[in-house]
Amino acid sequence: MRYERKFRIETEALTAVGEIIRQHPAAFRPLHQTRQIHNIYFDTPDLATFQQNVNGQNERRKFRVRWYATDPHLVPAQVRFEIKRKHNEWGEKVVHDRPGFELTDLRPLTRAWQELYPEAGPLLPTLLNSYQRAYFRSHCGRFRLTVDWDLRYHGLRGHPRFDRYHLQDPAVILEVKYDSEEDGGIDFVTQHLPFRQTKHSKYVQGVQMTI
């Protein structure tokens, strides 16, 4: 079980956020190379998972297909089908590695979701997004930070054919991740981050931007 605390940052430049992380007394250092992430989110025809997040339900789910590439059209031979379950601030993720696909035809992904998670009902592609992500870990190894920027979106409900990302969110998203048994030490981390903790979902943000 993992806790996640998010900060949506709109008034600081990316370089300033990076400097705050470098000066943090927990001694956060880069964990591995920055990557560009692409996701296709899936939802029911009535957008049940979107409504779970908007309505602030304690129990929430997300269904997405994820891959890493500088060009969104270059889908690798293997992608990740991820089911993300959250209860308030803690969550878990179930991952299935599956063959790649063509962005021009998402029907195989819909069929794969039906095989993997039939109890969710029909799941249809609703949103494609992309962002850059940097990864950091504290010196003690108990806390991780991710920093996301260059957030881009394309709605798939009304425009199933993707050519490029047309919408951009200028915010920087910082997230602190840690195991549940480390919850007692999280105040030391957050009190040295001069940002206000917020509820933020890239899926919700993207759907709202593309409606």
In this structure, what CATH number is given to the domain that contains residue 190? 3.20.100.30
Give the model's pLDDT for residue 90.
75
Give the model's pLDDT for residue 123.
96
Work out the pLDDT band at 184, boundaries 50, 70, 90.
confident
Work out the pLDDT band at 180, boundaries 50, 70, 90.
confident
Q: How many domains does the chain have?
A: 1
Q: What is the mean pLDDT of residues 144-171?
A: 93
Residue 137 domain boundaries: 2-210
3-state secondary structure the chain: CEEEEEEEECCCCHHHHHHHHHCCCCCCEECCCCEEEEEEEEECCCCHHHHHHHCCCCEEEEEEEEEECCCCCCCCCEEEEEEEEEECCEEEEEEEEEECCECCECHHHHHHHHHHCHHHCCCEEEEEEEEEEEEEECCCCCCEEEEEEEEEEEECCCCCCCCCCCEEECCEEEEEEEEHHHHHHHHHHHCCCCCCCCCCCHHHHHHHHHC
Give the model's pLDDT for residue 161.
87
Work out the pLDDT band at 87, boundaries 50, 70, 90.
confident
Give the model's pLDDT for residue 72.
92
